[in-house]
């Protein structure tokens, strides 16, 4: 028996890019929310998911 990871199931064909926007200052970041907003210093709890319009 071979135990390898030959079957990696991923969501293919559905690439969703998320933007995160700071609810305090409006700073936006693409991908994942930072630990802290570089603009106003808010935590990532203050970041909201923002869908990218027109993409
Ligand atoms: Zn901010």
44 CA → ligand 1 middle, Å: 9
- What span, in angstroms and rounded, lies between the C-alpha atoms of 48 and 55? 18
CATH code, residues 18-51: 2.20.28.10
**DSSP label at 40?**
T
C-alpha of residue 31 to centroid of ligand 1, in Å:
16
How many angstroms is it from 26 CA to the middle of ligand 1? Answer: 6
Mean predicted lDDT score pLDDT of the chain: 79
What are the backbone dihedrals phi and psi of residue 44, each rounded to the nearest 5 degrees, phi first? -75, -5
Note the pLDDT of residue 41.
Answer: 97
The predicted structure's pLDDT at residue 34:
93
Distance separating alpha carbons of residues 22 and 30, to the nearest angstrom:
12
51 pLDDT band (50/70/90 cuts)?
Answer: confident
The more confident residue out of 23 and 55 is 23
pTM here? 0.62
The domain spans of the chain are: 18-51
According to DSSP, residue 23 is labeled T
Q: pLDDT, tens digit, for every residue of 11-36? A: 555 556 688 999 999 999 988 899 99
User: How far is ligand 1, taken at its centre, from the CA of residue 36, in Å?
Assistant: 8
């Amino acid at each position: 028996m071979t135990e390898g990871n030959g079957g990696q199931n991923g969501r293919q064909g559905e690439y969703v890019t998320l933007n995160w926007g700071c609810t305090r200052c409006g700073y936006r970041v693409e991908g994942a929310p930072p630990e802290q907003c570089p603009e106003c210093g808010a935590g990532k709890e203050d970041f909201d998911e923002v869908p990218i319009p027109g993409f």
